[in-house]
Amino acid sequence: MTQNILILPGDGIGPEIVAEATRLLNALKDRFGLAVELEEAPIGGAGYDAAGKPLPDETLALARAADAILLGAVGGPRYDQLAWELRPERGLLAIRSELALFSNLRPAILYPQLASASALKPEIVGGLDIMILRELTGGAYFGKPRGIQAREDGVREGFNTIIYSEPEIERIVRSGFEIAMKRDRRLCSVDKANVLEVSQLWREVAERVAKEYPEVALSHMYVDNAAMQLVRAPKQFDVIVTENMFGDILSDAAAMLTGSIGMLPSASLDAGGKGMYEPIHGSAPDIAGQGVANPLATLLSVAMMLRYTLNEEAQAARVEAAVGRVLDQGLRTADIWTEGCRKVGTREMGEAVVAELAD
């Protein structure tokens, strides 16, 4: 059965890195029998340019119909002056919400070849392999009421609402346990239960769901401590599950443990396992169009797509092994380059991975 993949290049370096993912998917199709059809559509600033809004109706319709989605990145200085609802980021948030992609997997894995690229000492980050599971369609990002208003005395105030229903908490925590079951069976739920009621409910629900997973060791940690522990002793974690905004912040911190945010993929899944896959770095407008961006996070996002949505474990492993071999050969884009390695551009890196695909 042929599966349909919708490619959303987006803005900035998005089109360049996604071009390498397309090259990879076509190679898997031509050489290794992967049954996929690719289609492309605009999102973010490119959506605004093409159709006057960051998530064009046609893009959303194609996304609903697709089996899986691959996204580059959105945003750029050209679009910063647009009205709030037209900003590229709104397109990203809208597609997450419209497709109910509530479960956001953000692995932080340190490739041994890149240990020296991390700002932390090798003994602290060597062998790092943690998974941050971020709730993606709730909390302050979408909670109402929200806005900016003028009080009676004329002073303006801005406000947002961190709100989670029990079912919303339960489904993400449950995803956390399911992922932990396939890993080291340790789940750390991160909250701010010493201050926030929403976190108290979160903790209560996590404890309840834990009863169904006796093999998994559940712990709780306040988010400020979790931020500190991530840079102090990151290997203590296996799976972290947390709400939307905490996950946004902690996943950037975790990404940097691995040396470069240019290496990390992500998956955003709905209840049925359909998903959108994207590198966790942004659109990097400062280097866009120069052919120097690191495509590996996007290629590894393809691997996640193969594994989690397309059920093609062998193809996923093939891609990851090829990335490993290319790193072994010493090829590095500028963001992960160190003395003694060979600096390559986006395209050369993409071609090298394709060349290393093996039976």
From the list ligand IPM, Mg ion, none, which binds 128 (C-beta under 5 to 8 Å, kind-based)? Answer: none
Backbone angles phi, psi at 265, to 5 degrees: -90, 175
Q: Which is nearer to ligand IPM, 79 or 213 (CB)?
A: 79
Residues forming beta bridges with residue 3, ordered by sequence position: 36
Distance in Å, CB of 28 to Mg ion, minimum? 29
- Tokens representing residue 26 in the block: 């076509």
Q: Which is nearer to ligand IPM, 9 or 218 (CB)?
A: 9
Q: Which is nearer to Mg ion, 282 or 295 (CB)?
A: 282
Q: Which is nearer to ligand IPM, 184 or 252 (CB)?
A: 252
The residue number whose beta carbon is nearest to ligand IPM equals 89
Distance in Å, CB of 74 to ligand IPM, minimum? 7
Distance in Å, CB of 273 to ligand IPM, minimum? 20
Of the residues 213, 248, 277, 308, only one is catalytic, namely: 248
What one-character DSSP code corresponds to residue 148? E
**Contacts with Mg ion, residue ranges (CB under 5 A):** 248
Q: Does 248 qualify as catalytic in the annotation? A: yes
Distance in Å, CB of 92 to Mg ion, minimum? 10
Q: Does 224 qualify as catalytic in the annotation? A: yes
Query: CB within 8 A of 153, min separation 6: which ones?
Result: none
From the list ligand IPM, Mg ion, none, which binds 335 (C-beta under 5 to 8 Å, kind-based)? Answer: none
Q: Tell which residue, 349, 342, 341, has the closest CA to residue 322.
A: 349
From the list ligand IPM, Mg ion, none, which binds 92 (C-beta under 5 to 8 Å, kind-based)? Answer: ligand IPM
From the list Mg ion, ligand IPM, none, which binds 36 (C-beta under 5 to 8 Å, kind-based)? Answer: none
Distance in Å, CB of 7 to ligand IPM, minimum? 18
From the list Mg ion, ligand IPM, none, which binds 40 (C-beta under 5 to 8 Å, kind-based)? Answer: none
Q: Which is nearer to ligand IPM, 92 or 302 (CB)?
A: 92
Of the residues 67, 184, 252, 270, only one is catalytic, namely: 252
Distance in Å, CB of 286 to Mg ion, minimum? 17
Q: Does 270 qualify as catalytic in the annotation? A: no
From the list Mg ion, ligand IPM, none, which binds 69 (C-beta under 5 to 8 Å, kind-based)? Answer: none
Distance in Å, CB of 106 to ligand IPM, minimum? 8
Query: CB within 8 A of 155, min separation 6: which ones?
Result: none
Pairing relationship of beta strands 147-150 and 156-159 according to DSSP bridges: antiparallel
Q: Is 311 left (phi over 0), alpha (psi -120 to 50) or beta?
A: left
Angle between helices 223-232 and 244-257 (to 10 degrees): 10
Q: Which is nearer to ligand IPM, 21 or 71 (CB)?
A: 71
**Contacts with ligand IPM, residue ranges (CB under 6 A):** 89, 92-93, 248
From the list Mg ion, ligand IPM, none, which binds 89 (C-beta under 5 to 8 Å, kind-based)? Answer: ligand IPM
Of the residues 141, 164, 277, 308, only one is catalytic, namely: 141
Of the residues 11, 79, 164, 192, only one is catalytic, namely: 192
Contact predicate 73/218, CB 8 Å: no
Q: Which is nearer to ligand IPM, 89 or 178 (CB)?
A: 89
| Size of the chain in residues | 359
Q: Tell which residue, 77, 95, 120, 92, has the closest CA to residue 255.
A: 120
Edge-to-edge strand order for the sheet containing 3-10? 36-40, 3-10, 68-73, 275-279, 265-269, 103-109, 129-135, 239-242, 186-191, 217-222
H helix intervals, the chain: 14-32, 45-51, 57-65, 88-98, 122-125, 166-181, 197-210, 223-232, 244-257, 296-308, 313-328, 346-355
Residues forming beta bridges with residue 241, ordered by sequence position: 133, 189
Distance CA 231, CA 124 (A): 9
Of the residues 49, 224, 286, 328, only one is catalytic, namely: 224
Q: Which residues are catalytic?
A: 141, 192, 224, 248, 252
